[in-house]
């Protein structure tokens, strides 16, 4: 790769080709759009140049939830399991007195217990993921600034 003339020799650009994945639109991904290719230009030791492009940060984030999204996302994930959906369906049927001879209480207690235990486990796991992410993102690193 040759260095373009508009860039001083001491700054060697790193050009990374990027491909965007074809996104599924309203037609279910049947569109004939071609993948577009872009370049990401980064200059070593030129912070002002690199900040113009507002690239994504390099923060690590492995956690699934935050305070606001925990309950809806966790319940959505739990009801993806067939057993939980089945018990919810039974609970709805038991709310109709003409269909069921049992009380709705006999279904809601085991379902709520299973959902609660799983939610506590997921919350604990995600809390430790947040701690680990914070620890990794706050590690000291060496940064080369202006040749120092």
Determine the Cα angle at 17 with ends 1 and 4, to 5°.
Answer: 35
Strand, coil or helix: what is 17? strand
What pLDDT, in 10s, does the model give residues 70-120? Answer: 999 999 999 999 999 999 998 999 888 888 888 888 889 999 999 999 999
Task: Tell me, rounded to whole angstroms, the distance of Cα 99 from its chain centroid.
Answer: 43
Q: What is the pLDDT of residues 30-76, one digit of tens each?
A: 555 554 546 666 676 677 777 777 777 778 889 899 999 999 999 99
Q: Residue 53 carries which DSSP code?
A: T
In 20-76, DSSP assigns E strands to 37-43
User: Helix or strand or coil: residue 4?
Assistant: coil
């Amino acid at each position: 790769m040759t260095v373009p003339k508009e860039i001083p020799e001491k700054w060697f650009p790193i050009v990374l080709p990027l491909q965007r994945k074809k996104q599924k639109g309203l037609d279910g991904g049947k569109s004939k759009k071609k993948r577009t290719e872009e370049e990401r230009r980064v200059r070593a030791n030129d912070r002002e140049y690199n900040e113009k492009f507002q690239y994504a940060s390099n923060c690590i984030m492995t956690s699934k939830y935050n305070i606001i999204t925990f309950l809806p996302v966790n319940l959505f994930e739990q009801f993806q399991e067939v057993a939980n959906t089945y018990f919810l369906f039974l609970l709805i049927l038991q709310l109709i007195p003409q269909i069921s001879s049992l009380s709705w209480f006999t279904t809601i207690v085991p379902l709520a217990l299973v959902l609660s235990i799983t939610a506590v486990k997921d919350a604990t796991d995600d809390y430790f993921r947040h701690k680990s992410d914070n620890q990794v993102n706050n590690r000291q690193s060496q940064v080369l600034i202006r040749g120092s």
